[in-house]
Structure 1
Amino acid sequence: MPAKRREPTSPLNRYRVPILDRTLDLLERLSQHPEGLTLTAMTEGLAMPKNSVFRILTTLTLRGYAERDESTKVYRLSRKLLSVSHGAIGGQRLLQAASAVLTALRDATGETALLGTLSGSQGVVLDQVASSHPVKVVVEVGHAFPLHTAAPAKAMLAFLSEDMRKALIQGIHFTKHTKTTLTSAKAFAAELAEVRDKGYALDRCEESETYACAAAPVFDARDEVIAAIWISGPSDRLPLSKLPAAAKVVADHAAKLSASMGRPATHRK
């Protein structure tokens, strides 16, 4: 049986709403399992009455925040939650500020330039400006990407608080996709330390041998990481020998976007 959650000691605890607590527990649980969970799996994992879990899931599904696969009986979070998290990080303001930066980054590198953020235990693409090359990397807005292989995920995780970073790393399944994929929490943590030192992150064909990426974090007025921008292109145009130089270009553009989002000048490199 899962351990009972220990409530923090606070005089405000008497104002807690139990059903809202349970709903948030359920949302957090689903966010850790992008592949989805069955009603039984969630009931067991949350140690909640099955009827309560079913009612919450039904409400979330009716409101569009969750989806149910009728064939597998699996529930997943929907992209509607993206609009909520999007608002928390500056939402439309971020998209507007990023538009010109992404275009400039695409022009400077010739590769597809993208903007994304973290969403639960994965990353999600918010916007992109496609490369003008006939052969290019293009992804759908809303596409989810894994944390251990994607350059933008590394760029964001590296600058989270230590507690948040450790919690996310503990939830990663280090699936091996290519010969360069990082397959352990120790190796991944070491790479994130290097990202913090350099200010940019790389995907050295870690998810697919056909493309590579270079990313840098975007910060807000509180100097908190809220997003990442990156370039993605075929591995023959972005070989490992050229990735660091390309990443520095990305970092320069990320700094401009951070300034637009109000990051204090004292924190800019």
Structure 2
Amino acid sequence: MPAAAPDPDAPDDAALDGAPGAAAKAAPDYAVPALDKALDILELLAEQRGGLGQLEIARATDRSASQIFRVLTTLERRGYLHRDRQSGLYTLSLRLFDLAHRQEPLRSLDAAALAPMRRLAESTRQSCNLSVIDAGRVRVVAQVESPEDFGFRVRVGAVFPLETTATGAVIAAYMPADAAVPGSDGDAAERIRRDGHLVRADPLQPSITDVVFPILGRDGRALAALTVPYVATSLSELPSDLVREAAAETAAEISANLGL
């Protein structure tokens, strides 16, 4: 009799190994193998600049092509993955990003921030963006472009290091002591809290000065940070100190809109 084809959703053999009675002593195993495969694939593709083929995904997740085939097909059908018909490469769609922005906290933040941010961009002729902490990194959740033909913009959804950005420094300055970023400058954080903002040259983009204000919650933590990446050009109608004042007023307005 021919051997039965392996079940793609069956747990790996290694998960069944162990000393007799070990399962009874261990905590209950509620693993869902197909879900584990799907999450591994999504996390893998999130780190890729380009797409990956089925065999590449199988190797990277340490599974066989047959184990992940149905998972890939389902993720594609549900709109979480896009498969290029010519190359066969899989990439993430914006479905996860869309789901994240349906969360009530982000919807409330967008609703509270976008109108004031548009007024800030209009009055300063500079772009501005709003960022939050996501898994220990800075993620841009809203952005308004400069009304000028020339300006600097940051893509919504872009992720930056917490430790090396002005936005990250401001958010980290208002973290509780037990959540402080390893290696962070305590004196710099104290200055940010004292001044209520940070203005410094952007380490990633020469000629840009980051003007950053926190959006503080009732507990004193920074729920988000408003950043104006100030570009000094002949089109800049306001000097940086007036941009700083306008950004401070906008941050206060966003906080008021959130009821903080």
Give the TM-score normalised by structure 1: 0.60
Matches within 5 A, 1:139-158: 142=156, 144-147=158-161, 151-152=166-167, 155-156=170-171
2:76 match: 61
2:254 match: 257
**Do 1:31 and 1:121's aligned partners in 2 also have CA atoms closer than 8 Å?**
no
1:230 match: 227
2:188 match: 194
**In the aligned structure 1, how far is the partner of 2:172 from the partner of 2:84?**
31
**Do 1:220 and 1:262's aligned partners in 2 also have CA atoms closer than 8 Å?**
no
The alpha-carbon deviation at position 102 of structure 1 amounts to 0.9
The alpha-carbon deviation at position 94 of structure 1 amounts to 1.7
**Do 2:54 and 2:65's aligned partners in 1 also have CA atoms closer than 8 Å?**
yes
Label 1:42 to 1:243 Cα distance change in 2 as closer, same or farther (>3 A).
farther
Single out whichever of 145-154 and 88-97 deviates more from structure 2.
Answer: 145-154
Q: What secondary structure is seen at the aligned counterpart in 1 of 2:210?
A: strand
User: Equivalent pairs: percent with the same residue?
Assistant: 24
Aligned CA-pair RMSD = 4.6
The alpha-carbon deviation at position 104 of structure 1 amounts to 4.2
Equivalent pairs counted in the alignment come to: 232
Label 1:257 to 1:16 Cα distance change in 2 as closer, same or farther (>3 A).
farther
The alpha-carbon deviation at position 97 of structure 1 amounts to 0.7
The alpha-carbon deviation at position 126 of structure 1 amounts to 3.9
Single out whichever of 21-30 and 194-203 deviates more from structure 2.
Answer: 194-203
**Do 1:122 and 1:144's aligned partners in 2 also have CA atoms closer than 8 Å?**
no
1:25 and 2:34 matched:
no
2:205 match: 208
Q: Deviations over 1:163-213 (max 9, x none)?
A: 9987xxxxxxxxxxxxxxxxxxx8xx5369835751545672433335343
Q: What secondary structure is seen at the aligned counterpart in 1 of 2:44?
A: helix
Equivalent residue in structure 1 for 2:145, among 106, 130, 136: 130
Matches within 5 A, 1:23-102: 23-69=38-84, 73-88=88-103, 90-102=105-117
Matches within 5 A, 1:100-115: 100-106=115-121, 109-115=124-130
Q: What secondary structure is seen at the aligned counterpart in 2 of 1:61?
A: helix
Label 1:222 to 1:35 Cα distance change in 2 as closer, same or farther (>3 A).
farther
Single out whichever of 192-201 and 97-106 deviates more from structure 2.
Answer: 192-201
Gaps of 5+ in 1: 167-185, 264-269
Q: What secondary structure is seen at the aligned counterpart in 1 of 2:63?
A: coil
Match for 2:184: what amino acid?
A
Match for 2:96: what amino acid?
L
Q: Deviations over 1:48-96 (max 9, x none)?
A: 3332333323322222222334566543322221122123362332211
The alpha-carbon deviation at position 98 of structure 1 amounts to 0.6
Q: Deviations over 1:106-145 (max 9, x none)?
A: 35644222234466797654433333445333455x4635
The alpha-carbon deviation at position 247 of structure 1 amounts to 5.5
**In the aligned structure 1, how far is the partner of 2:186 from the partner of 2:102?**
27
